[in-house]
């Protein structure tokens, strides 16, 4: 069974958009976290929580660098309390949130350590926090490398951890520890390659991959006009290509699937000021074939067939990226999925 999620732009229309999605069967609602390209996520997570009744709520995704990790943990614990247990902790290394500032995302070691700290702290466990600028005040234990911290008020309902990633190492680790994994591509062969690392990590940790929510995040457009549909989502493969380019700094081309590499052929310089925006100049090289391959577009039956293929590989959730969509386009796509696509899946 495949569930539906949706990621929305932060903004004044978010409340009504989230309600409309939930009313049409969407079980997950998310916002991005990139405070220059979008409005600060914290108040809008609260908006999502206040304007939905049963949907799971979270960031897709936040990161351990933009804010002190204790702030991320406390935010999620507070919203878990206010939402009655509907929060998701979605974490990634930090892409546009940091690159837009000219800074680097977290390294894998830092990401793993900090994600573990945030998740444990948000769930009421005691953690050993390494002070960034150790205090010289009397109460602070001089010479101590860490400070014991816990959120004693954290609600008992456990917050699940979802990890976003593309590379083998982070996906293998996600298979070991995560409740869910965000895969930002809908190309079946590449998704199958990704799931292989998640499965290996799960097996190594004595887990079953069935315990992990495998989420394919992608824009979608339902239309009989395939070229028009591809135009609507053309910026997404260029976004993926930027991640692949980064991966090629650490992985040989021969170690990556050809379907994953096709987006970097003739790749233009990516402009994070136009991150995820439709019509961005850096997406002009993307062909209709590549746009269709990396997203879910076309007729309702064509969209349903692709979701069936992804489901057969182990995908359990489709998260539709509504970033840059008008309110009317969101409602059109949401209704198309509720009435025409999902009944065929």
Domain-located, residue 261: no
Domain-located, residue 273: no
Domain that holds residue 31: 3-224+300-344
Question: How many structural domains does the chain have?
Answer: 1
Domain-located, residue 263: no
Domain-located, residue 134: yes
pLDDT of residue 274: 55
Closest CA to 233 of 165, 324, 299, 300: 324
DSSP 34: -
Chain Cα centroid distance, residue 151: 26
Domain-located, residue 88: yes
* Stretch 220-244: mean pLDDT: 91
For CA atoms 275, 277, 283, 287, the dihedral sign is positive
Q: Taking a C-beta distance cutoff of 8 angstroms, is the pair 170, 197 a contact?
A: no
Residue 316 CB partners (closer than 8 Å, separation 6+): 1, 2, 3, 213, 214, 215
Question: What is the C-alpha separation between 339 and 16, in angstroms, rounded?
Answer: 19
86-140 confidence digits (pLDDT tens): 999 999 987 766 567 677 777 899 999 999 999 999 999 999 998 776 666 665 5
Question: 311-330 burial, b for 16+ CB within 10 Å, e for fewer?
Answer: bebbbbbbbbbbbbbebeeb
Asked if pLDDT for residue 142 goes beyond 80, the answer is: no
Domain-located, residue 264: no
pLDDT of residue 105: 75
Greater confidence, 184 or 94?
184
38-66 confidence digits (pLDDT tens): 899 999 999 999 999 999 999 999 998 88
Instruction: Give the global pTM.
Output: 0.92
Domain-located, residue 260: no
Write down the mean pLDDT value for the chain. 91
Q: How confident is the model at residue 208 (pLDDT cuts 50, 70, 90)?
A: very high
Asked if pLDDT for residue 280 goes beyond 80, the answer is: no
Helix (H) or strand (E) holding 258: helix 258-261
pLDDT of residue 98: 57
Domain-located, residue 63: yes
Looking at residue 327, which CATH number applies to its domain?
A: 3.20.20.30
Question: What is the C-alpha separation between 25 and 44, in angstroms, rounded?
Answer: 21
Q: 40-44, 87-91, 271-275, 298-302: which has the minimum mean pLDDT?
A: 271-275
């Amino acid at each position: 069974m495949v569930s539906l999620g949706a990621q929305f732009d932060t903004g004044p229309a978010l409340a009504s958009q989230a309600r409309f999605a939930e009313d049409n069967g969407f079980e997950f609602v998310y916002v991005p976290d990139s405070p220059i390209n979008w409005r600060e996520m914290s108040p809008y997570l609260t908006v999502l929580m206040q304007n939905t009744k049963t949907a799971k709520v979270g960031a897709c995704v936040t990161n351990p660098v933009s804010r002190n990790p204790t702030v991320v943990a406390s935010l999620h614990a507070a919203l878990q309390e206010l939402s009655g247990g509907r929060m998701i902790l979605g974490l990634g290394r930090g892409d546009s949130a940091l690159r837009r500032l000219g800074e680097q995302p977290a390294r894998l070691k830092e990401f793993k350590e900090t994600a573990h700290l945030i998740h444990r702290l948000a769930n009421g466990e005691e953690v050993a926090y390494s002070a960034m600028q150790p205090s010289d005040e009397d109460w602070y234990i001089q010479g101590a490398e860490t400070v014991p911290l816990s959120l004693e008020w954290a609600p008992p309902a456990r917050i699940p951890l979802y990890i976003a990633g593309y590379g083998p190492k982070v996906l293998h680790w996600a298979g070991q520890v995560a409740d869910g994994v965000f895969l930002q591509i809908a190309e079946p062969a590449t998704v199958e390659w990704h799931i292989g690392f998640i499965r290996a990590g799960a097996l190594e940790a004595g887990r079953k991959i069935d315990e992990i929510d495998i989420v394919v995040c992608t824009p979608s457009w339902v239309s009989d006009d395939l070229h028009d549909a591809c135009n609507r989502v053309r910026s997404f493969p260029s976004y993926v290509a930027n991640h692949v380019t980064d991966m090629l700094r650490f992985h040989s081309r021969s170690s990556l699937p050809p379907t994953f590499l096709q987006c970097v052929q003739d790749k233009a310089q990516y402009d994070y000021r136009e991150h995820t925006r439709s019509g961005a100049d850096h997406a002009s090289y993307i062909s209709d074939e590549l746009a269709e391959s990396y997203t879910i577009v076309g007729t309702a039956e064509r969209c349903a067939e692709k979701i069936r293929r992804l489901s057969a590989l182990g995908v359990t959730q489709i998260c539709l990226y509504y970033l840059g969509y008008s309110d009317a386009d969101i409602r059109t796509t949401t209704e198309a999925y509720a009435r025409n696509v999902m009944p065929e899946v």
